[in-house]
Amino acid sequence: MTARLATVDLMRTDTPLGAPPETPLQTLPVRGPVTVVRGRPVLDVVIPVYNEEADLERCVRRLHDHLARTFPYGFRITIADNASTDRTPDLAAHLDESIEEVTAVRLEQKGRGRALRTVWSLSEAPVLAYMDVDLSTDLKALLPLVAPLISGHSDLAIGSRLSRSSRVVRGPKREFISRAYNLILRGSLAARFSDAQCGFKAIRKDVAERLLPLVEDTGWFFDTEMLVLAERAGLRIHEVPVDWVDDPNSTVHIVRTATEDLKGVWRVGRALATGALPLDRVRRPFGDDPRDRELSGVPRGLARQLVGFCVVGALSTLVYLLLYSLFRMGTGPQVANALALLLSALGNTAANRRLTFGVRGRDRAMRHQAQGLVVFGIGLVLTSGSLAALDAVPGTASHGTELAVLIAANLAATVLRFLLFRAWVFPSDSGAMTDHDPRTDR
């Protein structure tokens, strides 16, 4: 393995980022504990560096001492030099020669993401990790970080500085930027992990082989993109609260990094919205999670679809009632009902298509909207018929009575709409491209 890594400095590092992995493109196997092979490291910790001559040797020796004392399996420390121009390459070579478990890799192009992709792709260790050279994160969190990956419990693991039990020392500027960035991720990409940029992460080798070819970024956004795609694919991300002390001498350019990160958020968000990413390649099969149970007499996916449909339906009803009230100010009840129902039905079909039934991309989108309009027509008959029946009653009905009748009619139309959506518009055996995750079928 050492000889193979030693040739990295002679290899080209501008391989197309979308190059397919060597393993077959299919779903991942059922998660299990890693296989320990005699003479082969279980853990490979990568330290990406660029002009770090002041901290490199101290960092590597401290990390090596910690692993030698606390880690129960074989390990390797890989120094990934990102085209340094100071004495970093010489120091890395010296550490490689003097410490058996240390390997130095030289890349002629900068970029933390590029360094991690290169080394992780070549490593034979079943668990891959990385940490920043300043060792801002307390090393006592390293074993808890990788243990769930070794046991087969999780697919990725990250250190979190934003956990309530974390102890963090850093200035208000970095604290604000970190929290603001994670709020952006939650709001734009629906991310649920708490800390995207903490330099303390690990991934299983089998997951990296499938996931890394989908990650385009080669710089600081690499971490975020990897985590977002993993989360969207349904992989399990384990979070470890860490104790972290800010390095006042950090060379990270905050403004430039933030700008590149926002560009990355836009790119990944657009790819997810258009269904351009084949995330099915990195999903675990149904049955991997102990919660994957089929309920007797309940069609698979029904429970999740019911919840999604109810949420979309509740929001659509509010929109419908608001539109009806607005249109009713300038027109009669029948016209106001038809316009409000038409507009809310278009939004309802689009929302249910993506959120309830997991259909993505533009394939059959117009057909689904056309079928949704047929369902809308049935709902229009029910609600219009109810208004007509109310109008036939002697006396003048109040606006509140009209709304009550419409709500009752819409409830009946909603039940029929769900059945038609499930059996006709978005059948489970449809050839439409979906992002359905079988593990949510419960």
pLDDT at 292 (0 to 100): 55
pLDDT at 8 (0 to 100): 54
Q: What residue segments make up the domains of the chain, in order of their start?
A: 2-282, 302-440
CATH class given for the domain over 2-282 = alpha beta
Active site residue 223: yes
pLDDT at 350 (0 to 100): 86
pLDDT at 212 (0 to 100): 93
Catalytic residue among 44, 96, 223, 441: 223
The Cα–Cα gap between 6 and 219 comes to 23
Q: Going residue by residue through the chain (442 aa), what tens digit of pLDDT does each one get?
A: 443 344 354 333 333 333 334 434 457 888 889 988 888 999 999 999 999 999 999 999 999 999 999 999 999 999 999 989 999 999 999 999 999 999 999 999 899 899 999 999 999 999 999 999 988 888 999 999 999 999 999 999 999 988 888 888 877 777 777 788 878 888 888 888 888 888 899 999 999 999 999 999 998 899 999 999 999 988 999 999 999 887 666 555 666 777 888 888 899 988 888 888 888 878 877 656 555 555 555 455 666 788 788 888 888 888 888 888 888 888 888 888 788 878 888 888 888 888 888 787 677 888 888 888 888 788 778 877 887 887 777 777 777 787 788 788 878 877 887 888 888 888 865 444 444 444 444 3
pLDDT at 21 (0 to 100): 40
pLDDT at 3 (0 to 100): 37
pTM of the predicted protein model = 0.63
pLDDT at 9 (0 to 100): 43
